[in-house]
Structure 1
């Protein structure tokens, strides 16, 4: 996290990132349900083909408003046109409905290069794609989830968690509906996910994610196929019980509604149309470790029959302290808590599909032809990655544009990120292969006449501030490298345009190296699809013909309507996807903060949302 983030947000975000208190879900619905009138977007016949995959051997910016070229898309819209806003007055115990609000204008950021007059007329489009991040598709009934931490604060558990599948399908529908990018006129050529695609590192969640992206039915339920066995019908007032009119739980007291039939609807099958464009995958800590930070050795608990819903305050405090310090990589504190209170845990139906998956499992599942969808097979990974379980690669984004996906996760049991020395060396070699000149560690210019010069986009899950050199508990002596070291490496290569990532659940765009234009690039950190504000990014790259390039970042929301049904009686996939977003906007500590305050910081400032990021290319 950065030092500019408010303390309240910092504490909640650390708790959520560390504890795995995030999402799961589903809903009834049919393919194409989220577009107006049930329409499906036409297939894009002029979209670029699959990029060639190649296996490897805030700040308050000084931006200014600009007249953006706003070309409304045929069906989908972006936040240039409209954004979801909370309606009504805030107050204790109030639940506020979502309404459509005005869009956010384009902000031109010139910290790294000046904006030349007339560049719009000289512009050559280079690339257009979409970033997904932090979907956190979650089996909320998994016995490894630690919802009991809510006793230490209402924000440690999300009321919207049972609806992530419906919400994610609505985001896929929106991408399928997007027309040409508003600034380049290019259609999106692919989607890149930047990690935390699932929440609990379980096989069933991975199946949901791959089906979401490639197309097919998803039944967001586990354990007993005919019953829900999670916290929301436990009878504990600590959690929102949407179906129980008699229980005056914590969330109803602060205004959350009664929604009869909610849990049955949330566990019904929903069909994903799958993305109509190729997609690529980057791994996050929740994809690599149960809950994003727990030991895979907890397999027996994950597939077992005891789910702990509440613990004494002392035990909750001990586990929260272990998460905060990161000094329990083998999850011994949690194991002790779970075993000590097993007798008081809820009995649930065991399910082998909840078992944690290994890196090899993750790679093999991506390579399964059943999950190829719009391609490419493996979604960045190849058969060669199975040897050694490497989860990083490079690929061709467009002509003269290269993407590099890196694996920033600790496999030793912590939510913060890092790179091992072997991968850092691979990254340096990959950057060098596409840069005819660079700088060595001492700042001396190095020329490579035979290198294939290309603009370079780097993708990862963790942002630079979320990467530390915490000792790795994995069985290796390999040194680890933090975010500052990655920034230093990227700054040595003038061809690097941007480092695009997630993890923070915040929209934030950071200039790096502005004191030395030849060694500068942008870091684009995007908020999650599980928390407010539920954003993905449409990213476009263009050559301005004047020695600069522009990287455009345009936030998009899902295809679900802003308004939910007046009486909360629409339990279709459409209705649940709208409710998913509305519940997130009403999260504890957030609803009272918009506009301004904590909630606004998650969405970022104007310079972190819809932007034109200038960068020199003759540096």
Structure 2
């Protein structure tokens, strides 16, 4: 590795032959026949790395215990999986490699105001995202993730320092101004109080007396304690207390997600529920049959969901009086951009974190930015203001994207597959969005531009494949780790789609992405998952910052409505080397 002679691979794995390393790595794409096979694969990975510390190459949270509530501990790391779906892997490429870029992706932080009247936790049996037992700790969990990135000196495969962190949407949970303040403060650093309403007490479902929810501070026998959840004195008061977030030491950018744009990430924000956001009535339950109908409407018919919700509020079930808070008001796209421009949130920069004064005036939340010399980043807005969780893009944005790609490409292909000559050799391009190619089927008309056509994920894939310098599409939304090869008959028209799990649901991952030129006509994209800086072991009497961050992870694993095994993904979606044909010219 050029410029990395101080880190000999022999420091990690003495005497390993190339054949042995290759055999071990071949096992990495299975669930491992034995612990010995896994250990050989991990050792072979370490032999190629500059460093593995602080990443899932070194260690990974692992459940232990036989009861319904599992404790977490430090488990063996995950090895590198070499994926040759799109290009072959030549030998000796490690010694020829030149690092081009190194950055970190955060996604789906979901910093949540759990005391908000516009949350419908009673839908959790039907919508797993409606309530999570760990969600009062989202702000502290995100800050612990920032601590982890600050402690890393660079990418594990090239050693190159990170040029930026990109948060790919759902930075807030319910697009409230107070949640946006928490997010911006965690990213830039500063004093944070993750509490709303009455500053002296918690006013949410976790001390409501409703047995459907976990009541951590009392001996009340709720459904969660029946599953082994602990009693933790002072848990809620500690979770809502003030602390100083260190903030990233690396420049950072934001991409917008559906939870940053819509009510509960699903309902269109047409101004109908603003008084509910800032009011004093919190609906904490309803008939289960009606809850099932509302949940179904949220998935399939946002307009019907609004009507059902209004009816529920008129003929309410259990309603709690909470302290009203004007800071809970939902923000608009223009306000989202403007908040990023506030000098108190500049941190390590850049000013606006991707958004400009023009974005604050127009509400257009898509932009370009430099990832590294010769590498361009493009952040898209794939949210649909008409509602539903899934996304799409409008014609105006799709045309803008095409024009940006043309202006940064040495050549490209037209819709019929003919080569079109551009200017000088183009930059490599990494596209960022919240939604994935498979979650962009929401073609409802945008209520603000009702006559503009919407385009799905297939249309975006087809456009990106026309530009050989597009090497990756990095996204979130699904809360799952999944890496997809988008191939093409012309090898240079292929690219990788890198989808990363959320930091609210287990496994609570972020991802390092490194781009390197192998000097043989191929590129390598290395992806490495990282966890927060929280310790793996938890202590139910420890409500310190580190103790709460550790509980955040463990509680997320035990969420009864979650599916952690699905969200973790397969080994080929974890720590990978993704080979790609280098674009010519």
TM-score (norm. length: structure 2): 0.90
In the TM superposition, residue 463 of structure 1 has moved relative to its aligned partner by 0.7
Partner of 1:555: 529
Tell me which stretches of 4 or more aligned residues in structure 1 moved more than 4 Å: 60-66, 151-156
CA distance in 1, matches of 2:573, 2:285: 39
Change (3 A) 1:400 1:155: closer
Partner of 1:255: 228
In the TM superposition, residue 513 of structure 1 has moved relative to its aligned partner by 1.8
Q: Is contact 2:105-2:166 (8 Å) kept?
A: yes
Q: Is contact 1:150-1:238 (8 Å) kept?
A: no
CA distance in 2, matches of 1:111, 1:445: 24
Unaligned runs of 5+ in 1: 1-59, 591-597
The correspondence for 2:205, drawn from 205, 218, 231, is 231
CA distance in 2, matches of 1:304, 1:451: 58
In the TM superposition, residue 236 of structure 1 has moved relative to its aligned partner by 0.5
Within 5 Å, give how 1:359-508 maps onto structure 2: 359-448=333-422, 450-451=423-424, 453-476=426-449, 477-508=451-482
The correspondence for 2:100, drawn from 117, 123, 126, is 126
CA distance in 1, matches of 2:221, 2:499: 39
CA distance in 1, matches of 2:195, 2:329: 15
In the TM superposition, residue 589 of structure 1 has moved relative to its aligned partner by 5.6
Partner of 1:70: 49
| 1:295-317 deviation per Cα after TM superposition (whole angstroms, max 9, x unaligned) | 32210111010000110123212
CA distance in 2, matches of 1:515, 1:87: 46
Within 5 Å, give how 1:209-358 maps onto structure 2: 209-245=183-219, 247-296=220-269, 297=271, 298-328=273-303, 331-341=306-316, 344-358=318-332
CA distance in 1, matches of 2:502, 2:424: 36
| 1:524-571 deviation per Cα after TM superposition (whole angstroms, max 9, x unaligned) | 000000001000001100000000000000000000000012xx0000
CA distance in 2, matches of 1:604, 1:154: 18
Change (3 A) 1:318 1:396: same
| 1:356-377 deviation per Cα after TM superposition (whole angstroms, max 9, x unaligned) | 0001110110011111000000
The structure with higher relative contact order (CA 8 Å, sep 6+) is 1
Q: Is contact 1:100-1:562 (8 Å) kept?
A: yes
Change (3 A) 1:277 1:402: same
- Per mean C-alpha deviation after superposition, the further-off stretch among 513-522 and 198-207 is 513-522
In the TM superposition, residue 338 of structure 1 has moved relative to its aligned partner by 2.2
CA distance in 2, matches of 1:577, 1:383: 36
- Per mean C-alpha deviation after superposition, the further-off stretch among 409-418 and 207-216 is 409-418
RMSD after superposition: 1.9
Q: Is contact 1:295-1:329 (8 Å) kept?
A: no
In the TM superposition, residue 514 of structure 1 has moved relative to its aligned partner by 4.3
Change (3 A) 1:329 1:218: farther
**What is the SS of the residue equivalent to 1:67?**
helix
Partner of 2:117: 143
In the TM superposition, residue 205 of structure 1 has moved relative to its aligned partner by 0.3
Q: Is contact 1:189-1:278 (8 Å) kept?
A: yes
Q: Is contact 1:329-1:412 (8 Å) kept?
A: no
In the TM superposition, residue 452 of structure 1 has moved relative to its aligned partner by 5.1
Partner of 2:491: 517
Size of the alignment, in residue pairs?
A: 543
Partner of 1:576: 548
CA distance in 1, matches of 2:398, 2:80: 35
Partner of 2:145: 171
Unaligned runs of 5+ in 2: 1-25, 31-40
| 1:125-169 deviation per Cα after TM superposition (whole angstroms, max 9, x unaligned) | 001110000000000000000101135477752111111111111
CA distance in 2, matches of 1:310, 1:231: 10
- Per mean C-alpha deviation after superposition, the further-off stretch among 467-476 and 388-397 is 467-476
| 1:63-112 deviation per Cα after TM superposition (whole angstroms, max 9, x unaligned) | 59663433446xx60000000000122x4xx2111100010000000000
- Per mean C-alpha deviation after superposition, the further-off stretch among 471-480 and 298-307 is 471-480
In the TM superposition, residue 280 of structure 1 has moved relative to its aligned partner by 0.6
The correspondence for 2:62, drawn from 71, 78, 85, is 85
CA distance in 2, matches of 1:61, 1:290: 45
Q: Is contact 2:469-2:583 (8 Å) kept?
A: no
- Per mean C-alpha deviation after superposition, the further-off stretch among 497-506 and 141-150 is 141-150
CA distance in 2, matches of 1:193, 1:329: 32
In the TM superposition, residue 433 of structure 1 has moved relative to its aligned partner by 1.0
CA distance in 2, matches of 1:224, 1:293: 28
CA distance in 1, matches of 2:76, 2:84: 25
In the TM superposition, residue 270 of structure 1 has moved relative to its aligned partner by 1.8
In the TM superposition, residue 336 of structure 1 has moved relative to its aligned partner by 2.1
CA distance in 1, matches of 2:424, 2:367: 18
CA distance in 2, matches of 1:234, 1:358: 31
CA distance in 1, matches of 2:305, 2:445: 11
| 1:325-350 deviation per Cα after TM superposition (whole angstroms, max 9, x unaligned) | 134278222222223217x4100011
TM-score (norm. length: structure 1): 0.85
CA distance in 2, matches of 1:451, 1:509: 31
Within 5 Å, give how 1:47-58 maps onto structure 2: none
